[in-house]
Copies of this chain bind each other. A is one copy, B any other.
Amino acid sequence: MKLSRIADILNCELRGDGNVDISGVAGIDEAQPHQLTFVANPKYIPKIKTTRAGAIILGPDAPTTPIPTLVAKDPYLTFAKAIEIFYQPPRPLPGIHPTATISDGVILGENPSIGANVFIGKNSRLGNNCVLYPNVTIYPHVEIGDDFIAHSNSVVREYCKIGHRVILQNGAVIGADGFGFAPQADGPYYKIVQSGIVVLEDDVEIGANTCVDRATVGETRIGRGTKLDNLVQIGHGSRVGEDTAMAAQAGIAGSTKVGNRVFLGGQVGAAGHLTIGDGVVAIAQTCIPKSVEPGKIISGSPAMDLNLWKKNYILMLNFPELVQTVKRLAKEVEELKKDRDQT
């Protein structure tokens, strides 16, 4: 496709030769002369000189380059849209595969695509345009909105409620029993029936093998537009706000409230019954043992202010020397005291 045509589709200003033929997109290190790349992070601007890309998407303030350029206010977002010009994931066949089991009382919207060995339990309702890949299981009494995509081996448990345009990656588990056991004086744990549900609001995406547990009573809720990466754990009764993102292997224990536009890095853990304010950012592997005020950037296990954590890290690299210094000072002070006392 001619670059000028791509500029039109993406609504970008074109600088340089619009006749370049582009057949795909690629990262700046891998891009070939027939490919389109981008720079969004100023850190990568020096790579503009060395990339082999045939064309590049740049912000309005980027340095000029002989490479034919699409100028975009938001180069990363524009790159995201450029990918769609060249690739669309294969959509499974419409209709209901003969090996699928649709139980009594199920209501399906228009234009369903339901793959092999899918099971939908009784009285569940799905909106229009649902895509259920092979081996998906929907338990009974589930309510799901329009444009639902459930990849193979994902599961939605009984009574859960899912909004519009929700995506479940493979192996995602929505609504398994929360980890609720009452200790008994005479020994074994008593299993607490998990009577609550999970609510996924509109535009939520749940990563592969991620688990969102149903509540003991009431609900566990994931807010509109929130994205969870793979292997994330959401404990029972938690409430996650809108447009929040959690990277892989992050986990929050039960009954914790996470605000809007929060970002939890990979392997971050948060204890139960906390409030994590709007806009909080937690660096990877942070352990959050108590509530965090809105807007804080935290790191460490346990969490502290990111700047303090960075300082401490550098100081820790010289910790043995510090201890040696203190030991030496203790000796010298002892001598000074002795000398003083003798004079």
Contacts of A190 in B (CB 8 A): 77, 80-81
Task: Mark contacts of A38-72 with chain B using CB atoms, 8 A cut-off: 1 yes-contact digit, 0 otherwise.
Answer: 00000000000000000000000000000000000
Contacting A218 at CB < 8 Å: which of B27, B117, B187, B193? B27
Q: Does A259 contact B (CB under 8 A)?
A: no
Q: How far is the CB of A339 from chain B (nearest CB, A)?
A: 6
Given contacts A89-B193, A248-B251, contact A153 B137 (CB under 8 A): yes
Within 8 A of B (CB), among A181-209: 181-185, 187-195, 203, 205, 207-209
From A36, which residue of chain B is reached at the shortest CB distance? Answer: B217
B266, A233: Cβ atoms closer than 8 Å = yes
Contacts of A284 in B (CB 8 A): 253, 269, 271, 287, 289
Within 8 A of B (CB), among A294-340: 300-302, 304, 308, 311-313, 315-317, 319-320, 322-323, 325-326, 329-330, 332-333, 336-337, 339-340
Q: Does A155 contact B (CB under 8 A)?
A: yes
Within 8 A of B (CB), among A251-301: 251, 253, 255, 266-267, 269, 271, 284-285, 287, 289, 300-301
A137, B135: Cβ atoms closer than 8 Å = yes
A173, B169: Cβ atoms closer than 8 Å = yes
Task: Mark contacts of A104-137 with chain B using CB atoms, 8 A cut-off: 1 yes-contact digit, 0 otherwise.
Answer: 0000000000011101010000000000011101
Q: What's the Cα separation between A225 and B238 when bound, in Å?
A: 26
Q: Does A147 contact B (CB under 8 A)?
A: no
B176, A83: Cβ atoms closer than 8 Å = no
Q: How far is the CB of A76 from chain B (nearest CB, A)?
A: 5
Interface size class of A (residues with CB under 8 A): 35 or more
A90, B26: Cβ atoms closer than 8 Å = no
Q: What's the Cα separation between A205 and B191 when bound, in Å?
A: 9
Contacts of A211 in B (CB 8 A): 171, 207-209, 230-231, 248
B97, A101: Cβ atoms closer than 8 Å = yes
A176, B208: Cβ atoms closer than 8 Å = yes
Q: What's the Cα separation between A140 and B337 when bound, in Å?
A: 80
Contacts of A140 in B (CB 8 A): 90
Q: What's the Cα separation between A333 and B327 when bound, in Å?
A: 13
Q: Does A84 contact B (CB under 8 A)?
A: yes
Q: What's the Cα separation between A218 and B158 when bound, in Å?
A: 38
Could you write out 7 A-B pairs with CB less than 8 Å apart?
A74-B182, A88-B193, A90-B140, A188-B243, A191-B205, A231-B233, A339-B340
